[in-house]
Amino acid sequence: MTDIDPTKPVLVTGGTGYIASWIVRYLLEDGYTVRATVRDPQKPSGLEHLHALAKAHPGRLTLHAADLLAEGSYTEAMAGCELVIHTASPFLVGRIKDAQRQLIRPALEGTRNVLASVDATPSVKRVVLTSSVVAIHGDNADMKGKSAFTEADWNTTSTEQHQPYAYSKTVAEKEAWAIQAKQERWDLVTIHPGLVLGPSLTTSSKSGSIATMRFFTDMSFAAGAPALELSVVDVRDVARAHITAGFTPEAHGRYITTAETTSMLEIGRTLSGAFGRRLSFPRNELPKFMIKLAAPVAGMTRKFVELNVGWPLAFDNSRTRKELGLEFRPAEETIVEHFQQMIDDGLA
């Protein structure tokens, strides 16, 4: 049982992020005081949405400079906070040239730096960490012998060479649990979203949704889509999961935060139903051997195709629904709203 004083400020790391921006907004709308860390509070662009939130909620949002790789940079902003929501984490879209430098080191060192500040801040009682379903499984083929993944599962198949982003999220979360276990003052709760879609509060943040939804605009799927299943969740539900986990005294452990499993073809059909037929929306699934042949050109490895295309995927989110009381938006609604914003922003 961890009771958080609602009058104390809440620290949100990575405040400009896709998920973090919604967390900041909801916290403010709920009446909390928020401190958000960003790399440079004086940055001339990219912070407009946070400035607008600060203006709409006078005196309750402040921005603080911090960097994942700068030791101690979170300590000042954390002073007096009982709840820390740590969302800041490296996410790269496209080809990875140096996984250790680009993903693994910043994920690990960033986790260590933030939690070192937590250890040094007597007021902190709880940390809510943004993890991912990729810390629960590495490839869809890991489903073999299971009906669904649960919070008890861990990704044991990703490496620095294969699925490096998933590996970075896994080792960072394991490090967080190891650090938490060494003390008894603060507890840890981890949130595990699938592919996060839905409207963004800023065009400046980068997320996996951008790369995924771009496939439906750049003709990548004009001839057909891979038979690839993925879990989808609305960004607003993910934000609410973080906040609820923070302020629910009994919350503990890991929480799978996915709405439902869909496929690339089903996403295409949803978009066709809402926006009409486009050449960029897939009408069929391509045979696996064709996907494997084209994999290197598309930025995928053949190993990824072998272990993910054609495999089913399922997650059990019942613990999240029961303990956090979260009801997820339908994936179809989320997908349509996401694509409509892409249209409005001139991206589709």
- Beginning with the edge strand found earlier in the chain, give each strand of the sheet holding 83-86 in spatial order: 61-65, 34-38, 10-13, 83-86, 126-130, 187-193, 253-257
The enclosing H or E element of 231 equals strand 229-234
Side chain identity at 220, as an amino acid letter? S
Q: Tokens 């995928």: give the residue.
A: 300
Contact yes or no for 130/176 (Cβ under 8 A)? no
Q: Which of 8, 43, 55, 169 is catalytic?
A: 169
**Strands 83-86 vs 260-263: parallel, antiparallel or unpaired:** unpaired
The residues near 293 (Cβ < 8 Å, ≥ 6 apart) are none
The rounded distance, in Å, linking the Cα atoms of 271 and 336 is: 6
- Residue 288 token pair: 């696996």
The enclosing H or E element of 65 equals strand 61-65
Q: Which of 335, 31, 303, 53 is nearest to 166 (CA)?
A: 303
SS (H, E, C) 315-338: ECCHHHHHHHCCCCCCHHHHHHHH
The enclosing H or E element of 13 equals strand 10-13
- Beginning with the edge strand found earlier in the chain, give each strand of the sheet holding 260-263 in spatial order: 195-197, 229-234, 260-263
Q: Is 174 a residue of the active site?
A: no
Residues with active-site annotation: 169
